[in-house]
Chain A
Amino acid sequence: MKILLALLMFFTFTFGADATIEVVKKAETLPSIAVEDASNDYDESFKLRFFKALIADLNVISIFNVDRHYRINEYDANSVVVENKDQEYVLRYLLQELDNGGLGVSIKLLQKDGTELFSKNYRVSKQNIYMFVAHAIAYDINEFMGEPPVSWIKRKVIFSKIVAPMKTEIIISDYTLSYQHVIVKGGFNVFPKWANKAQTAFYYTSLDSAKPTLKYIDIRKGTVKNLMSSDGMMICSDVSDDGQKLLLTMAPKGQPDIYTYDLNTKKYSKETHYRGIDVNGQFMGRDKMVFISSRLGYPNVFSKTLGHDDVEQMVYYGRSNSACSAHGHYVVYKARETSNAFSENTFNLHLISTKTDVIRRLTATGVNEFPRFSQDGDAIIFIKNYKGQSAIGIIRLNYNKNYLFPITSGRVQSLDW
C-alpha cells in the first residue's frame, strides 16, 4: 500500500505540471454558477444575446458548471432567485444604455446566501461590441477565483478568409467570432500577423502585385506601408515578443528559406540553407526557432539556434508534419494521419514537450491546422475544416477542452491572435 501511495505521489509530482499529460477534470467536481439579469434597458433580444455571450464565456474558462437558464432578478435584491438557491455562485448583471449609444454593465458575484464577493463596472462606446464586455467579465471572475489568467480571452483574433479564388478578406474579430470587422477588403491578401503585443498594427502578404509583398497596417493611424517584396514567397511567420525582430519566409531565387529581419538595423540574416523547403519559422524564446523543413524527404518539425547552423529534429512521429508553433518548452504541430491522395484525409494537432517523450493528441477528426499558442501558453488557437465547414478552434490545454467557432461563409486561410 505504501509503495502504491509513493508511486502515485511520484507520478503526481513528476507530471502534475506537464501539459502533455491529459488532465480530465470531472464535471461534478466543479462548483456551479448561475447568471441573473437585472437589466431594464434594451429589448429582450439584446438582453438574451448578452446573456448567451456571458454563459459561453463562463463555460470557456472551464472552472464552473454553468447553469444555462435565463433568470431575472432585481440588481440590489438581497437574495438570489429561488431556482438558483442550490447554485454555489450567482453572477448578477445590469445592462445600462449610456449617452451616445454606449453600453454600461455592472456585475456582482454572489454566494447562494446573497453575500457579495466581487463587483465591477464596465463601459464600452458602442452597443455592438458587447461581447468584449462579456469576455472581460469572464476574465475577471476567473482571476477572482484565483485561477491562472486567461488573457487570451480579451485579445483580438486576426484572420484571412478566402471568399473566392484569389479573393480574400482580412478580418479582426473576438475569439468567438461574434464580433467581426473586415479591415482589408478586396484583393488577394494572406497570412496576417499582429505586429505588437498591443495589437495596434499588423503585417500581411499581398499577392496582388507582380511580386509577393509584405505590407504593414497601423490600425490607429489607418496607414498602409509596403515593407518588402520577394519573388515566389514573402510571409511574416512570426514576430518576436518585443516586436523588433521578424521571422520571414522568402524565396528571392525561387528557393523558400527562413530569414530573420531586424526592424532597428533593417538587416536580414538567412537562417536556413537547405535546397528543399524551409518555412514556418516560430520563435522559441529569444534565441531559438522551430520550423518546418523537408530535409528528410517529408515535412517535419526542426529547431535551431538563430545565427548558428545547428539543426535538431523535434518530432520523431508521423511522416508529414507541416505546421508548428512553440511556447516555452512546448511545441504544437500538425500531423497528417492518413496518406491518401484520393480520399478525405485527417490532420490532427499534437503537443510535445522538449523535456519529456510524451506526445499528446489534441484533436480527433477533420483537417486541423495552423496552430498558434496564446501569448501565455494557456491555450492554442487553430483552423478546423470539417465536412465543408471552416471554423476557428480553441484548445484549453490544462482543461483538456476544445471549443469551435464556425464561420458562416468562406474558408479561413490563416490566423493570429
Chain B
Amino acid sequence: MMKSIVLSGVVAALLVFSGCSEKEPVVDSQNSEQVAAPTEVTAVETETVSAEDSMVNSSTNSAEMTMAEIESKLPTIYFAFDKYDITPEMQERIDAAAELGKKDIAKSLSVKLEGNCDEWGSDEYNFALGLKRAEAVKKALVADGIESSRISMVSYGESNPVCTEHTKECWAKNRRVDFKLIP
C-alpha cells in the first residue's frame, strides 16, 4: 500500500517535471530578460520507513506489548542549562534502566537515545549539545554493563519539545534524553 502511494507520487512528480522542463523561456525582443522564477515542483514524497514503523509492522502483538511495557518503564534523563553532565539523581535513573536492559526479556532489544534541547537556538551547536547529552547517557549505560552495540544515538535539537510554553519549567522539561526501543 505504502509502496504504491510512493510510486504513484513519483510518477506524478515525473510527469509534472517532464512537462515543465520542455518549455523554453519566451523573451521579449529588446533589452528584456526572463526572470528566474522558481521551478514549480510537487512535494517530494517522504519515505516513512522509520524505526518506529518497522517495529509495528514486523513484531507480533505479544512482543509489541512487551516492548511497549518495557519502554514505559524507561526513564527520561534531564539536564541543566547548556550542560551535558549527568547529576547523581539522573545517574540513579540510568542505573535502573541498565538493570532493566540486562533482563532476559529485554536482551534482544536495542535502544535509541534521543537527545533534545530547549528552545534557545536552532543552530548546529544546539543539535550537538543534544547529541552530547545522548552520548553521556550512552557512556553511563555502557559503564553499567550494557553492550555499546545495542545503543544508537540521535539528536533532535530543539525540534522535538514535549512542552511548548515559554516558561522555565517548560525549558527544563525539554532538556532531556528519551529512550526509544528498537527490536
Contact = CB atoms under 8 A, between A and B. Distances in A.
Given A185-B43, A231-B152, A255-B135, A292 B36 contact: no
Contacts of B98: none
Contact of A166 (B27, B47, B120, B159): B159
Nearest to B132: A277
B125 A280 contact: yes
Interface in B1-38: 13-14, 16-17, 21, 23, 26-28, 30-38
Given A251-B131, A254-B138, 9 more contacts: A119-B31, A122-B32, A129-B38, A132-B35, A165-B160, A187-B46, A211-B152, A334-B121, A345-B120
A311 interface: no
18 contacts: A122-B33, A122-B35, A125-B37, A132-B37, A181-B40, A187-B48, A220-B21, A220-B39, A222-B14, A222-B16, A231-B153, A232-B135, A251-B131, A254-B138, A279-B123, A334-B123, A369-B122, A369-B123
Nearest to A345: B120
A186 interface: yes
A327 interface: no
Given A122-B35, A221-B17, A208 B48 contact: yes
A133 interface: yes
Nearest to B118: A341
Contacts of A344: 166
Contacts of A211: 152, 154
B100 interface: no
Given A220-B21, A232-B131, A133 B35 contact: yes
A412 B122 CA distance: 8
B35 A210 contact: no
A212 to B, nearest CB: 6
Contact of A209 (B49, B129, B168): B49
A256 B128 contact: yes
Contacts of B48: 186-187, 208
Given A280-B124, A280-B125, A345-B120, A123 B138 contact: no
Contact of A184 (B26, B46, B123, B131): B46
Given A166-B156, A222-B44, A232-B131, A320 B122 contact: no
Contact of B161 (A165, A187, A210, A334): A165
B38 A179 contact: yes
B28 to A, nearest CB: 4
Contacts of B42: 222
A136 B138 contact: no
A125 B128 contact: no
A183 B16 CA distance: 13
Interface in A19-75: none
Contacts of B112: 210
A235 B127 contact: yes
Contacts of A217: 44
A222 B41 contact: yes
B51 interface: yes
A182 B46 CA distance: 13
B46 A189 contact: yes
A249 interface: yes
A367 interface: yes
Contacts of B80: 341
B41 A181 contact: yes
B46 A172 contact: no
Nearest to A180: B38
A385 B122 CA distance: 10
Nearest to B152: A231
Q: Lowest 8 A-B CB distances belong to which pairs?
A: A187-B46, A341-B81, A121-B32, A185-B43, A323-B123, A279-B124, A322-B125, A254-B135
A192 to B, nearest CB: 12
A367 B32 CA distance: 42
A249 B124 contact: yes
Contacts of B125: 277, 279-280, 292, 294, 299, 322-323
A184 B43 contact: yes
Interface string A175-207: 000010111111111110000000000000011
A207 B28 contact: no
Contact of B37 (A119, A126, A385, A411): A126
